[in-house]
Chains A and B, each alone.
Chain A
């Protein structure tokens, strides 16, 4: 077990190094930091001196090592656009995106898994066919259109829910949360639904496919023959065995949630990392773009580690193999 975790840790370190390298290359080769910091009237000597002071004339590998070292110390440099420390800018945006993403993922699981089980058990039923047809249309509708439709219906026509921003927030330590005010929850519903719908269809279709596969297997047929009650058959015997691939996909979906949160945040003016990333692309704010990548990769790695550990917790066979 310890060996397994160690192996994953080492892999993760390499992934992070690769991403840091990518971010560094962005920094180094796209745009010139010196011309960003100086004006037109700066002389060539001054530029050269600045270049020297900043260490831009050092060997590539030395620069990369320094870059990585600074990152580890939490020094992410300064934004070209706002001149603020990037670490601060990103840190204030992280809670908004994480809360949005988590709630969206929860929606997709809480609705998607039961719907997937149902459509697998009654594949020819009217309700199942309707659900499946709806999801096919749902996958084809772009996230931003879903957002616009929700805004139009609940924000404009019915006037029930706010259509932009986070609503009331509460400060807990350095974490700005909108989960503790009713106002914040109301602001969260529409963006989270928008982000969750697409993931929901993925979850549902996957659970359905896995469930149908399992229901065909011999042990389910045998369990049916033994007269095990259907409820127990479906949920204890069948669903439990679909969980490993489902968890894998949830891990992968996390990436989708982060990526589409860029779109959702733009539609709802949600002050998260995605909105910051968009602004930084528009203004070619390379440091922010690079750090965004690194932060996202870090979450990716964390989630994937968690998924691997969950495998062991869920699938007893993996545990036995480890012990043996």
Chain B
């Protein structure tokens, strides 16, 4: 299995592309760090009792800081390493969930629209058109704003993560739907699909078992790129102060907090989370670009 994977074409291309390899290493490091945050981090950045104001505003180690805090601390005495690991954990979690929801929703609607056509197709595609004209961030902001009006105030804090995830997912589904639909139009008339339909298989089975595996390539590319978009969107919303509150900081919230120290000398509070976020998003985007080239032989 492993040997087959290593000798496969994508793997061959992968080991010939230094950019893709570097990106993969960075992505694995960041994602691994985020997953292992509870074991890697010295302190829990959500638990105020684990850090003290006495340790506030310490610079990184190489600028003469405390060896306990590798990348320094913020004004609350929060360890920056712990903060970015937990922040990335939250950002990745929201990004992944939003991407998965967007994929399921978009692919589902796209498959159905392409398979059944007619009125259903027309409705889905008109909605998609309208949403495509609105940039994702505007959609997410609107959904967030509406949820603030609709939800009772006491539930808002608890549901913040869910609302944010849903707002991001609902602003990203269009890409999946359009790609899935376009691919279905191509696949539907091929012999294997026709054969499955003539055999009287259930439409759902035809869509999921026969068509879906054959359009995984382009979908995988969009999933990668949209994961990056989802993480960026979450960071942007949190940076704008619309996303997550300051007591459960994602990377965007950390950057927002760091902005207050832009004019004073404490550069690490701002730049550590910023660089971490950029490294994560750039590496995912480079991988997405690589996948696009792999699945689109014409570009090679």
Contacts and interface: CB of A to CB of B under 8 A. Distances in A.
Interface of A: 18, 26, 30-31, 136-137, 139-145, 148, 151-152, 156, 252, 255-256, 258-260, 262-263, 266, 277-278, 280-282, 284, 286, 289, 293, 296, 300
Contacts of B259: 148
Contacts of A296: 138
Contacts of B137: 259-260, 262-263
B285 A281 contact: no
Given A143-B236, A256-B135, A281 B282 contact: no
A262 B142 CA distance: 12
Contacts of A262: 137-138, 141, 240
Nearest to A138: B282
Contacts of B242: 278, 281-282
Contacts of B148: 281, 284
B274 A145 contact: yes
Contacts of B5: none
B285 A136 contact: yes
B274 A260 contact: no
B138 A142 contact: no
B141 A281 contact: yes
A154 to B, nearest CB: 12
B239 interface: yes
B135 A136 contact: no
Contacts of A266: 239-240
Contact of B289 (A18, A136, A151, A280): A136
Contacts of B255: 144-145, 148
Given A30-B150, A31-B149, A136-B286, A144 B239 contact: yes
Q: Considering the complex of A and B, which 9 residue pairs feature the smallest CB-CB distances, nearest first?
A: A259-B135, A30-B149, A281-B145, A140-B282, A140-B285, A31-B149, A259-B138, A284-B149, A140-B281
A257 B99 CA distance: 24
20 contacts: A30-B150, A139-B285, A140-B286, A142-B235, A142-B236, A142-B239, A144-B239, A144-B255, A148-B259, A256-B135, A258-B135, A260-B137, A262-B137, A263-B239, A266-B240, A278-B141, A278-B240, A284-B149, A289-B142, A289-B145
A141 B236 CA distance: 11
B144 interface: yes
Interface on chain B toward A: helix, strand, loop, or mixed SS? helix
A144 B259 CA distance: 11
B216 interface: no
Contacts of B241: 278, 282
B270 interface: yes
A263 B277 contact: no
Contacts of A151: 262
Contacts of B135: 255-256, 258-260
Contacts of B144: 281
A152 B236 contact: no
Contact of B278 (A30, A140, A281, A286): A140
A141 B141 contact: no
B280 to A, nearest CB: 9
A137 B148 CA distance: 35
A156 B263 contact: yes
Nearest to A285: B145
A255 B139 CA distance: 12
Contact of B146 (A30, A260, A278, A280): A30
